[in-house]
Structure 1
Amino acid sequence: MSERKVLTPEQRRALLATPAGWLACGFGSGLAPVAQGTFGSLAAILPWLLLRQYSLSVNVLVIAIGFVVGVWACDVAGRALGVDDHRSLVWDEFIGQWIALLPALLAPWWAVVLGFALFRLFDVWKPWPIRYFDQHLKGGLGVMVDDVIAGIFAAVVLKLVLVWA
Structure 2
Amino acid sequence: MSPSGFKSGFNPRRLHHWIAFGFGSGLSPRAPGTAGTLAAIPLYLLLSPLAWPFYVGLLVLFMLVGIWACERTARDMGSKDPSAIVWDEWVGFLLTMVAAPAGWLWILAGFVLFRLFDIWKPWPVSVADRKVPGGLGIMLDDVIAGAMAAIVLALAALWVPI
* Range class of TM-score, shorter chain: over 0.9
| Unaligned segments of structure 1, at least 5 residues | 1-5
Give yes or no for contact 1:40–1:91 (8 Å, CA) kept in 2: yes
Match 2:89 to one of 83, 89, 93: 93
Match 1:136 to one of 131, 143, 150: 131
Compared with structure 1, are the counterparts of its residues 14 and 43 closer, same or farther at alpha carbon in structure 2 (3 Å cutoff)? closer
1:58 aligned residue:
54
2:154 aligned residue:
159
TM-score (norm 1): 0.91
- RMSD over aligned CA atoms reads 1.8
TM-score (norm 2): 0.93
Count residues with an aligned counterpart.
159
Compared with structure 1, are the counterparts of its residues 13 and 144 closer, same or farther at alpha carbon in structure 2 (3 Å cutoff)? closer
Match 1:24 to one of 10, 20, 23: 20
Compared with structure 1, are the counterparts of its residues 131 and 15 closer, same or farther at alpha carbon in structure 2 (3 Å cutoff)? farther
Compared with structure 1, are the counterparts of its residues 143 and 120 closer, same or farther at alpha carbon in structure 2 (3 Å cutoff)? same
Matched residue type, 2:15:
P
Percent identity between matched residues is 43
- Higher helix proportion: 1
Pairwise CA distance, 1:102: 1.2
For residues 23-42 of structure 1, what are the structure 2 equivalents within 5 Å?
A: 23-42=19-38
| Unaligned segments of structure 2, at least 5 residues | none
